[in-house]
A and B are shown apart, each in its own frame.
Chain A
């Protein structure tokens, strides 16, 4: 079955540590996205990538980094510079890069900083 996988489902991190969240898609989609979800705030865009080896900052990119070395993979690193990293992180992809392309979402990773 085609889809988006995120791993792990739950992640715990000590303060000061970097951590990488995985996102893989086998939908052959060009575009991929990372969103952060906090209670009562909806989803906020962290980074997005329209093509391999290219990505753009979203609304809340500070303290995060990404790479897009392969079409199917778009890992997100939460660095120690992120002041409040505890949140639910959602990865998405879309077949095209036009504004109307439907985004498909993965199941999410819940990150907790201890």
Chain B
């Protein structure tokens, strides 16, 4: 079955440090890939998405993600974390050619930022 894995449930980084959040998918073909962010008690906001082309995509708030087909990964990165980045981050895929018109989400990674 198709799935999305975010292996890190919780990550703590210091403000100003770099960040990488991992995402792996299990699917026979390349899906559409998304990263969303959720502040406590709020809805989700799209950070970035990958459909095709350049495997390094830029998003909002200084985030970027790199698609690596050989590793079935789509990791999210930020060179310097700000305290306001503390939130929960979700990787999601849209499965092509399946007729399913909705996203499949990973279980999320909660980011804590230390001063």
Contact = CB atoms under 8 A, between A and B. Distances in A.
Q: Do A and B belong to a common assembly?
A: yes
Contacts of B4: 42
Interface string B21-58: 00000000001101010000111111001010000000
Interface in B60-91: 90
Interface in A80-114: 90, 92, 97-108, 110
Main secondary structure of the interface of A (DSSP, over half): strand
Contacts of B101: 31, 48, 50, 56, 97-99, 101
Nearest to A46: B102
Contacts of B41: 108, 110
Main secondary structure of the interface of B (DSSP, over half): loop
Contacts of B90: 42-43
B111 interface: no
A35 B108 CA distance: 14
Contact of B102 (A4, A42, A45, A108): A45
Contacts of A42: 4, 6, 90, 105-108
Given A40-B9, A42-B105, A43-B90, A108 B43 contact: yes
A58 interface: yes
How many chain A residues sit at the interface, stated as a range, is 20 to 34
Contact of B51 (A100, A103, A105): A100
Nearest to A104: B46
Interface of B: 4, 6, 9, 31-32, 34, 36, 41-46, 49, 51, 90, 92, 94-98, 100-108
5 contacts: A45-B102, A50-B101, A99-B32, A99-B97, A105-B44
